[in-house]
A = this chain, B = another copy of it.
Amino acid sequence: MGVTVVGSVGLDSVETPYGKAELELGGAAVYFSLSASFFTDVNLIGVVGEDFPEIFINILQSREINLEGLQRLPGRTFRWRGRYHKDMNNRDTLDTQLNVFENFKPIISATASLEPYLFLANIHPALQLDVLKHTYPNFIGMDTMNLWINTTPDLLQEVLSRVNMLFINDSEAKELSGENNIKKASLSILASGPEALIVKKGEHGCILFLDDGDHFALPAFLLEDVIDPTGAGDSFAGGVMGYVAYRDRYDVQTLKEALVVGTVMASFACESFGPNKLINISMADIRDRCEKFIQQTQLESYPLLPENDK
């Protein structure tokens, strides 16, 4: 079963304590697609300008990503420039040029519209709603950001009420709900629509919240060298949605397994500038890291407590 993703394709310029990259392949839909492509067929819906290098098209094609929905329009590609500091959990956006992305109108082929899995990456909620009108998925994941939380809250609520799972940063979950405690924030968001919510906490891992009030938490995969965290959240979502589509199941147990896959894919994304590491791994690397992560987070035995109070 395949997944369709709608979102940004861009050229990123990034500076981190490890160095910098100029006009690197980037965008939420790119990281999502590359990550998900290890597990399932991917249709990428997006737009680039005349300046988008052919080599980046080749990279996406090398992972057999369906690019029928990737329009090339006159003008320049979406560009983002950012800087990470010693604390890699925070970044400064230095410049954002929407360019051809400003008037992006998704074109969705019959194949893409009929995929049972859909991911609405971080784009204007009006566009997300428009995509929902032209697709027929069984299971929908979405992302958003503080910009839409603040400027188009009503539209965002409408999208939320129609999706199965929201991927969101911890700070954005707090903003969206107005709650400062992450559990309260999540319960409040779940009350507004989705059945599941994944709170992304960067180097501190992730928490899956379910609308029955339960949750499941995992640490992140610990890296000695975080070269560039750009795209880690989208690679995480790509791993989760890609695994769910591959298994063609979205029960709670499958979602928990998918968190492991998402965590591992996000860790690879952090190990190079741009998606260079992501495109140079194999299923064997993914399997090895999943096993390592399980050893590093899963107990072999549980505490044996005293029978009674002392």
Contact = CB atoms under 8 A, between A and B. Distances in A.
Given A217-B297, A260-B303, A181 B224 contact: yes
A306 B300 CA distance: 25
A225 interface: yes
A226 B184 CA distance: 12
B260 A282 contact: no
Interface in A205-264: 205, 207, 214-219, 222-226, 243, 246-247, 253, 256-258, 260-261
A151 interface: no
Count the copies: 2
A310 B223 contact: no
A201 to B, nearest CB: 7
A139 B37 CA distance: 50
Contacts of A298: 298-299
A277 interface: no
Contact of A302 (B39, B184, B257, B305): B257
B246 A219 contact: no
A20 interface: no
A152 interface: no
Contacts of A183: 222-224
A184 B256 contact: no
Interface string A291-310: 00010111111111111111
A247 B303 CA distance: 10
A105 interface: no
Contacts of A32: none
Nearest to A303: B257
A131 interface: no
A180 B296 contact: no
A256 B216 CA distance: 19
A181 to B, nearest CB: 6
Interface in A270-290: 282-283, 286-287, 290
A304 to B, nearest CB: 7
A145 interface: no
Nearest to A260: B303
A17 B307 CA distance: 37
Given A39-B310, A219-B205, A222-B217, A301 B243 contact: no
Contacts of A21: none
A303 B219 contact: no
B299 A286 contact: no
5 contacts: A184-B224, A207-B219, A216-B296, A256-B301, A283-B308
Interface of A: 17, 37-40, 63-64, 86, 180-184, 201, 204-205, 207, 214-219, 222-226, 243, 246-247, 253, 256-258, 260-261, 282-283, 286-287, 290, 294, 296-310
Given A257-B299, A290-B303, A297-B297, 10 more contacts: A38-B309, A64-B310, A181-B226, A205-B217, A217-B219, A257-B303, A283-B306, A283-B307, A283-B308, A283-B309
